[in-house]
Amino acid sequence: MPQKPNPLSSIKVNGPIPAHLARSVIEKTLRAAILDGRIPCGTALRQQDLADLFGVSRMPVREALRQLEAQALLNVIAHKGAVVAPLVQGDAVETYALRILLESEALRLSVPLLTHEDFEQAAGYIDELETEHDYTEIGRLNRLFHMAMYCKAPNRRLLRLVEDGLNEEERFLRFNLEAMGLGKLSQEDHRALLRAVEDRDVERAVKLLEHHLNRGVEVITNYLNSPEAQSRKTSK
Ligand code: NI
């Protein structure tokens, strides 16, 4: 019988890790490997395997896994431990419905407090998106643009939830954007949204954001139901 390749074998550890850096090194390394697909969805990560791999005790491993769980990259499942989360958790429609609630509220709170520098930064991300062709970068810039719109919302817990949603989307886009082809369409949304925000027109901005996210859910739902997406689901 052919042996399944061990996903952890793709991870290279360069020499001993100083104890005080262990947690962050493990977290960063695993995060990168989950995001670029070297450790596929559904992989169970055993604390002892990771401790052996990184040459550390289980304590920093446990802490790193907890961080990744908080970023919605891992789910802790009874009897299985930490398992790499699926690309879209649950139902895409429900996920986006929640994101619309959370992001509209963050936008409402943030718009009156945004500064000229925030506008410039957001415009910079749009410009970068214009010329970027690497899907990994596109996902990252989309997240940064959105966060730039919400960043002044004083409710930090709300912002954390918003960022979890954007992280989840970024990971999904990284694997599927090429097949979905969303590019130019969302650029126009982004520009219109930024204009409304610059005018401090909260209601118009919220409407445009809802429209933008609803279009996202439409494209993703159509895509997930397409034969092409079905055939890509092998690594679930
Ligand atoms: Ni967007």
Express each pLDDT in 124-139 by its tens digit.
999 999 888 887 788 8
CA of 32 to the centre of ligand 1 (A): 22
What is the secondary structure of the chain as a DSSP string?
A: -PPPPPGGGG----SPPPGGGHHHHHHHHHHHHHHTTSS-TT-EE-HHHHHHHHTS-HHHHHHHHHHHHHTTSEEEETTTEEEEPPSS-S-HHHHHHHHHHHHHHHHHHHGGG--HHHHHHHHHHHHHHHH---HHHHHHHHHHHHHHHHTT-S-HHHHHHHHHHHHHHHHHHHHHHHHH--HHHHHHHHHHHHHHHHTT-HHHHHHHHHHHHHHHHHHHHHHHTSHHHHHHGGG-
Output the domain CATH number for residue 162. 1.20.120.530
Q: Is residue 1 part of a domain?
A: no
Q: Is residue 2 part of a domain?
A: no
- By residue range, what is the domain housing residue 110? 92-235
Q: Which of 40, 63, 84 is at the close of a domain? A: 84
Q: Is residue 24 part of a domain?
A: yes
Number of CB atoms found within 10 A of residue 195's CB: 14
More confident residue, 86 or 25: 25
Q: Which of 34, 56, 84 is at the close of a domain? A: 84
| 64 and 133 in a common domain | no
Q: Is residue 30 part of a domain?
A: yes
Number of structural domains the chain divides into:
2
| 116 and 228 in a common domain | yes
Output the domain CATH number for residue 30. 1.10.10.10
CA of 57 to the centre of ligand 1 (A): 41
| 161 and 77 in a common domain | no
177 vs 138: CA distance, rounded Å: 9
132 vs 177: CA distance, rounded Å: 13
| 116 and 190 in a common domain | yes
CA of 212 to the centre of ligand 1 (A): 7
Q: What is the mean pLDDT of the chain?
A: 86
- What pLDDT is stored for residue 235 in this prediction? 42
Q: Is residue 75 part of a domain?
A: yes
Q: What is the model's pTM? A: 0.70
| 112 and 171 in a common domain | yes
CA of 235 to the centre of ligand 1 (A): 26
CA of 33 to the centre of ligand 1 (A): 24
| 217 and 189 in a common domain | yes
Q: What is the pLDDT of residues 23-58, one digit of tens each?
A: 999 999 998 888 777 888 889 999 999 999 999 999
| 188 and 103 in a common domain | yes
Contact assessment for residue 213 and residue 96, using Cβ atoms and an 8 Å cutoff = yes
| 183 and 105 in a common domain | yes
